[in-house]
Chain A
Amino acid sequence: ETGVTQTPRHLVMGMTNKKSLKCEQHLGHNAMYWYKQSAKKPLELMFVYNFKEQTENNSVPSRFSPECPNSSHLFLHLHTLQPEDSALYLCASSQDEGLLTDTQYFGPGTRLTVL
């Protein structure tokens, strides 16, 4: 248990569906992250939020829309996804963004399958 929870753990959706992934951290951290983990590829940073403000959008397609209502919650809204978007989506948090030795704590991930 890392203090970062993600729901749902598994999600199957069609290309025309709209769904949302949820992440919650109970660590009092100020920075939250979305990563994509695909088979045979390194973890890809998607978005970073620090004190609820988006500080990084790593050229992510607009069919992925993040939302950070407060420092404890992070959402990833999904719409009109493609089959190649199937992956494990990981949420992480850290005390602050940009500290040299800051530790990122990861949630268990949401396994997304797009049909």
Chain B
Amino acid sequence: TQLLEQSPQFLSIQEGENLTVYCNSSSVFSSLQWYRQEPGEGPVLLVTVVTGGEVKKLKRLTFQFGDARKDSSLHITAAQPGDTGLYLCAGSGGSNYKLTFGKGTLLTVNP
């Protein structure tokens, strides 16, 4: 069974601060996705990474896939209240490409 551990579980910061959240596994994934879920809504895909060592940027968000494709990180620069939400990572691997989700990091950015 493939498991994804996300850390920290909760993070509360002030507007303007930088932060990094992590997604780790002992398994290799073919691809890894990051989602953001806002209260009362379903998860929305932010990015998909497929190559070991890959770095993708989405405005103030930087996503990195580990060289061994077992871990990933999400870095947010100058966080804003609109970044508040549950950040989920999900890995796809094996023969059927089903998504395995982590429990998520609940981020609160205070004004």
Chain B proximity mask over A79-107: 1 for CB below 8 Å, otherwise 0? 00000000000101000011111111111
**Which residues from A are CB-within-8-Å of B30?**
100
**Which residues from A are CB-within-8-Å of B43?**
43, 90, 106
A-B pair count, CB < 8 Å, reads: 50
In the complex, the answer to whether B101 meets A42 with C-beta atoms within 8 Å is yes
Q: Is the interface on chain B under 10, 10 to 19, 20 to 34, or 35 or more residues? A: 20 to 34
In the complex, the answer to whether B96 meets A92 with C-beta atoms within 8 Å is no
Question: How many residues does chain A have at the interface if contact means C-beta atoms less than 8 Å apart?
Answer: 24
Main SS at interface, chain A: loop
In the complex, the answer to whether B92 meets A104 with C-beta atoms within 8 Å is no
- The answer to whether the Cβ of B98 comes within 8 Å of any Cβ in the partner chain is yes
Which of B12-20, B44-52, B63-71, B77-85 participates in binding chain A? Answer: B44-52
A107-B42 contact in complex given A42-B4, A42-B103, A45-B99, C-beta closer than 8 Å: yes
- The answer to whether the Cβ of B40 comes within 8 Å of any Cβ in the partner chain is yes
Q: Which 9 residue pairs across A and B have the least CB separation, nearest first?
A: A106-B42, A43-B101, A42-B101, A98-B97, A106-B43, A42-B103, A101-B48, A108-B41, A90-B42
Which residue numbers of A lie inside 8 Å of B, CB to CB? 2, 4, 40-43, 45, 48, 56, 90, 92, 97-109
